[in-house]
Copies of this chain bind each other. A is one copy, B any other.
Amino acid sequence: MVDLTRIMDDEVFMAFASYATIILSKMMLMSATTAFYRMTRKVFANPEDCVTFGKGENAKKYLRTDDRVERVRRAHLNDLENIVPFLGIGLLYSLSGPDLSTAILHFRLFVGARIYHTISYLTPLPQPNRGLSFFIGYGVTLSMAYRLLKNKLYL
């Protein structure tokens, strides 16, 4: 039997596991941030969520949208759209035997860029802060996809 625990002895794979876990945990923080703004600003999407603030017609006024909440939700969706390709392509890239230092450079750049993207989106910082951090993460993922397909294409 393959001793699966040994997969984690592979340094590239261990590095991928660490960076992927960190960026996924950061993405999960977006749910908590949305919940925080919804509670403190009393902005809800579902009637059953605002029952504690009033009954009937009185509760309906909390069913609204709010710039701050929508901003966090856009940042969250952008995370999903970018972290999913990173996870899929990054996992396969890690298994394709890349150079350790090249791989770690990719992972660090991606995680750094996505954290900076969130900061730029939520502060918000003036453009091109958010745009640049988006394109760095985007480029890193495409670079891994390119290396993967160049070496291992099998259709």
Contacts and interface: CB of A to CB of B under 8 A. Distances in A.
A1 B5 contact: no
A30 B61 CA distance: 28
Copies of this protein, total: 3
Question: Which interface class (under 10, 10 to 19, 20 to 34, 35 or more) fits A?
Answer: 35 or more
A77 B28 CA distance: 13
Contacts of A46: 71, 74, 121, 124
Contacts of A155: 15, 18-19, 108
Max chain B C-beta neighbours (<10 A), residue from A80, A138, A148, A154: A154
Interface of A: 1-15, 17-22, 24-25, 27-28, 30-31, 45-46, 48-49, 51-52, 71, 74, 76-77, 80-85, 87-89, 91-92, 94-97, 108, 121, 124-127, 130, 134, 138, 141-142, 145, 148-149, 152-155
